[in-house]
Structure 1
Amino acid sequence: MEVRNVMSSPAVVANPSMPIREAALLMRAHGVGALAVLAGDDLVGVVTDRDIVTRAMPDGAVDRPVGEVMSPDPVTCRADQPVVVASEVMGEMQIRRLPVVNGDRRIVGMISLGDIAENVSEELAGQALGEITEMR
């Protein structure tokens, strides 16, 4: 099965200058734990709920821009890749969500361990999660 068949699409996106508070509200409104960060059409980062909690909340700096707390240059997967490859990348890179890009490297969605568990295999998602938690 290909990533395109299980990813969430379209991806919920932010821009680097968006206030963190706004990004958090966007996550809550869409029920997602990560936003793709775009500068124009270019994927420049990912900001997760964990990024917000660990990098912004301790200082109460929720009006700072997303660009200050995002993870830059995110690892991605392609929509036409097998889901098992995306799962392996998640395990190796210790991440729970991957932006999905097309052949032109434009964001087309997001895939999470939850998407894999729900639509493909709980066992496959569990293996990746095991790798993530083992290494931390």
Structure 2
Amino acid sequence: MRVSEAMTRDVRVAGPDQSIRDAARMMADINAGVLPVGENDRLVGMITDRDIAIRAVAQGKGPDAKVRDVMTADVRYCFDDDDVESVARSMGDNQVKRLPVVNRDKRLVGIISLGDLATRHGADAAGKAEAGIARPSR
């Protein structure tokens, strides 16, 4: 099975110059803890609820701080034509629960999560990824 068959296509994207308040509101609207960050039709980062808590609030940044100031710029991603099993292994190896999905032109086309793997590919792939994610960090 290809990632394109399991991913979520309707993805909300934050802009790097938006406030973290706006990003948090978007996360609340879609009941998610992560948003891809895009600029000029390119994926430039990811922002998580943890980024907002640890990189913003804990460091005294206010709600008007920019997404670019707290996002993770080193983004791991997968391609829409990748095999789901290899992506699940990669998620476990890299201890991530979600990956943005890009096409071969590196345009954002979706996001894949452990939930997507479990509901569309079966618990086995999601379980293997979760086992890798749950291991202690180095």
Q: TM-score range by the shorter chain?
A: over 0.9
Identity of aligned residues (%): 41
Regions of 4+ moved over 4 Å: none
State the 1:62 CA deviation. Answer: 2.2
1:119 is the counterpart of 2:115: no
State the 1:125 CA deviation. Answer: 1.0
RMSD, aligned α-carbons: 1.3
Gaps of 5+ in 2: none
1:132 is the counterpart of 2:137: no
User: How many residue pairs align between the two structures?
Assistant: 136
Distance between the aligned counterparts of 1:63 and 1:123, measured in 2?
42
3-state DSSP class of the match of 2:126? helix
1:46 is the counterpart of 2:49: no
Partner of 1:94: 95
Conservation of the 8 A alpha-carbon contact between 1:87 and 1:128:
yes
TM-score (norm 2): 0.91
Conservation of the 8 A alpha-carbon contact between 1:94 and 1:135:
no
Distance between the aligned counterparts of 1:103 and 1:121, measured in 2?
26
Conservation of the 8 A alpha-carbon contact between 1:27 and 1:34:
yes
Measured against aligned partners, the alpha-carbon deviations of 1:32-79 in whole angstroms (never above 9, x if no partner) come to 221110111111101112222222232352221111111103111011
State the 1:25 CA deviation. Answer: 0.5
Equivalent residue letter for 1:133: A
Partner of 1:34: 34
Gaps of 5+ in 1: none
State the 1:7 CA deviation. Answer: 0.8
Equivalent residue letter for 2:43: L
Measured against aligned partners, the alpha-carbon deviations of 1:17-36 in whole angstroms (never above 9, x if no partner) come to 11001101001112222111
3-state DSSP class of the match of 2:135? helix
3-state DSSP class of the match of 2:115? helix
